[in-house]
């Protein structure tokens, strides 16, 4: 979804430039980073929650009582408590699965520069998202371009996409 929003943004930018609608273009470039940031953070939240549910389905033998408990008590409205958004690592999240898992995954992340950057980008986007929604959204300024947010989103997606694999190892 983030990619399709970005494609739409690019088409609108080209149209506004062609039509010489500079003031509308300036408004778009000031406001669209917020939209894209929220979309990216929302997509990451959804994918991480889905990965955790898939993990519990796998380890419980698809036992619906266990999976429903995890969905209803451990995941529902808890996502933002999984991470310490002020840090540039996901160690708090890893620690929720125990110290052994945390230690193993911290080493995996340290040993993989792409994954390490993905975690940092994920955490930065999550932190920015929190600032955006908990401060005055209308006046909040994101010091990133749409292209920079999309690049961070793509990087963060590497981490988000690897969570289930890390849990199942």
The structural domains of the chain, with segments of one domain joined by +, span 1-42+80-168
- Condensed to tens digits (0 to 9), the pLDDT of residues 60-80 reads 988 889 899 999 988 988 999
Question: Smallest Cα–Cα separation from 135: which of 147, 145, 127, 125?
Answer: 127
Q: b or e along 86-98 (b: 16 or more beta carbons within 10 Å of the residue's beta carbon)?
A: eeebbbebbbeee
Quote the pLDDT of residue 50.
95
Residue carrying structure tokens 């943004």: 9
**Contact call for residues 116 and 110 (beta carbons, < 8 A):** yes
Backbone conformation region of residue 62, classed left if phi is above 0, alpha if psi is from -120 to 50, else beta = left
- Condensed to tens digits (0 to 9), the pLDDT of residues 7-43 reads 999 999 999 999 999 999 999 999 999 999 999 999 9
Cα 123 from Cα 41, distance rounded (Å): 10
Q: In the 8-state DSSP scheme, what is residue 61?
A: T
Average pLDDT, the chain: 95
Cα 74 from Cα 66, distance rounded (Å): 11
Please give the C-alpha separations between residue 115 and each of 57, 72, 104, 155, 162, in angstroms, as whole numbers. 25, 30, 14, 8, 9
- Whether pTM exceeds 0.75: yes
Q: Over range 89-117, report the average pLDDT.
A: 97
**Contact call for residues 125 and 149 (beta carbons, < 8 A):** yes
**CB under 8 Å to 168, separation ≥6 — which residues?**
55, 58
């Amino acid at each position: 979804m983030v990619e399709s929003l970005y494609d739409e943004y690019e088409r609108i930018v080209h149209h506004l430039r062609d039509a010489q609608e500079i003031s509308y273009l300036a408004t778009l470039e000031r406001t669209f980073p917020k939209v894209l940031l929220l979309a990216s953070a929302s997509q990451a939240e959804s994918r991480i929650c889905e990965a955790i549910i898939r993990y519990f389905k796998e380890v419980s033998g698809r036992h619906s009582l266990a999976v429903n408990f995890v969905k209803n008590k451990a995941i529902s409205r808890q996502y933002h408590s999984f991470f310490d958004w002020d840090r540039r690592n996901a160690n708090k999240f890893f620690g929720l699965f125990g110290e052994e898992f945390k230690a193993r995954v911290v080493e995996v992340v340290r040993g993989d520069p792409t994954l390490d950057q993905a975690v940092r980008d994920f955490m930065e986007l999550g932190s920015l998202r929190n600032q955006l929604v908990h401060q005055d959204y209308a006046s909040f300024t994101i010091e990133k371009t749409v292209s920079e947010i999309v690049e961070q989103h793509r990087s963060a997606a590497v981490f988000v996409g690897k969570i289930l694999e890390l849990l199942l190892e």
